[in-house]
Structure 1
Amino acid sequence: MIVGVTGGIGSGKSTVVNFFLELGNIAFYHADIEAKNIINSSVKVKTKIEAFFGKEAYKDNVLNKKYISNIVFHNPESLKQLNAIVHPEVKKHFKNFVNQHKNKEYILYENAILFETKSHHTCDFIISVYCDLKTRISRIKNRDNISENAILDRINNQWKEDKKLLQSNYLITNFAQIETKNQVNHIHNILTKKRKLI
């Protein structure tokens, strides 16, 4: 059983995932981290990115994040192209991961752009993590040390919150950790019961 975890940047997806992982025999796949690994290790992906964005896309064989970010967060078509190069490879990698973890209660699949990349089609259930915009901006500033304008560029390149929530099975509001943990426990209990029915 595959359970997608999504939510806007700064909503606290990692916190939610960590609470889930405390509860049982659960596998975890972080699409963003795996995408970064693939971008830096796959010759096929690197060749395609350099063909589209130019040789400056990589510096010392590692993706030049500053260069790429300046392009994609101001040009939706470029972001679309980058996703079209990277995400099919992530999907293949995830498929292998699922095959290797069939003995788990379920697999948590964290992906900030779950709907944007149509990865929600691979999930049995979807959890959206929600937090208000002001708190999200504050968290990202503290975590990434970037400007508010840069944060808003990233947020504006993701689906709006209400659009995600309408297509999700469960919602976790992530403001206070105790409340968040209680919501996670409740959803975990539901998921483990559903797992027995599948």
Structure 2
Amino acid sequence: MLKIGLTGGIGSGKSEVSRRLGDLGAVVIDADKIAREVVEPGTSGLALVVGAFGTEVLRDDGSLNRERLGRIVFADRDKLQRLNAIVHPRVGDRVAELQRDAPSGAIVVYDVPLLAENDLAPMYDVVIVVDASDEVRLARLVGLRGMSEEDALARVRAQATREDRLKIADIVIPNEGPLDELDTRVAAVWEDLRHRRTTAPGR
């Protein structure tokens, strides 16, 4: 098994890269997706979030209003840390379970938004960083996701800097252009990973 840590700042296009690697044959473990699952209605995670932040973070149907919660925690680092203390251990348990279920020879891509922030690089054989300038990312968040400039900037600032992510990268995938450029870059990275899998010690 070759363990790949995939990260990138919000708006960098990390999910596009993750999806393409999955299409090429990687086993993708998406920390964001799992983070949503562990706070679904009826979970202990959601109960703890409501206990910490109040019922105003719930929608009328009892599900988590992620946008409202985001506005609260991304404007206050202490509140963000409180949320992470609830969510991260539950995500870690589920990730470990999915890893155990992966085939022994798989290339497993861990899609981890906060890889740099949580000093997780040593956990992986290879760290891939999807890179785009802050200006490009902000434009995507406002133009494609409909965020206000204030919300978008708060989310960018709550994460590691671009420089800090690049410091931990074994492979960098630039993503400021069209999707066909990204297709070409991801295909080349996939061939690189397949080569690394066959030449890694113990394989």
TM-score above 0.5, yes or no: yes
CA deviations over 1:81-119 (Å, ceiling 9, x no partner): 101110110011011111111245311111221222344
Aligned letter for 1:186? A
Counterpart CA distance in 2 for 1:14 and 1:70 is 22
Q: Does 1:138 align with 2:112?
A: no
Q: Is the 8 A contact 1:83 1:117 kept in 2?
A: no
2:26 maps to 1:39: no
2:190 pairs with 1:188: yes
1:6 aligns with 2:2: no
**CA–CA distance in 1 between the matches of 2:127 and 2:46?**
31
CA separation in 1, counterparts of 2:162 and 2:53?
30
Partner of residue 17, structure 1: 18
Tell whether the 8 Å contact from 2:116 to 2:164 is kept in structure 1 after alignment.
no
8 Å CA contact 2:28, 2:110 repeated in 1 = yes
Report percent identity of matched pairs.
Answer: 27
Decide which moves more: 89-98 or 110-119: 110-119
Pairing 1:47-58 to 2, within 5 Å after superposition: 47-58=47-58
Check conservation: 2:121, 2:168, Cα contact below 8 A. Answer: no
Alignment of 1:29-108 (within 5 A): 29-41=29-41, 43-59=43-59, 60-103=61-104, 105-108=106-109
Alignment-mate amino acid for residue 86 of structure 1 = V
SS where residue 8 of structure 1 aligns?
A: coil
Q: Which amino acid aligns with 2:28?
A: F
Aligned partners of 2:57 and 2:64 also within 8 Å = yes
SS in 1 for 2:18: helix
RMSD of aligned Cα (Å): 1.9
Q: 1:66 to 1:21 in 2, by over 3 A?
A: closer
Amino acid at match of 2:144: R
**Cα distance, 1:42–1:80 mapped onto 2, change above 3 Å:** farther
With normalisation by structure 2, the TM-score equals 0.88
Q: What residue ranges of structure 2 are gaps of 5+ in the alignment?
A: none
The structure 1 segments of at least 4 consecutive aligned residues displaced by more than 4 Å after TM superposition are: none
- Between the aligned partners of 2:120 and 2:38, the Cα distance in structure 1 is 17
27-36 or 134-143: which moved more? 134-143
For the 8 Å contact 2:12–2:175, the answer to whether it is kept is: yes
Distance 2:95 2:120 in 1: 10
- Structure 1's unaligned 5+ residue stretches are none
8 Å CA contact 2:29, 2:109 repeated in 1: yes
Alpha-carbon offset, residue 181 of structure 1: 2.6
**Deviation (angstroms), 1:134:** 2.3
**Cα offset, 1:52, TM superposition:** 1.5
- Cα gap change, 1:142/1:95 in structure 2, threshold over 3 Å: closer, same or farther? same
For the 8 Å contact 2:71–2:151, the answer to whether it is kept is no
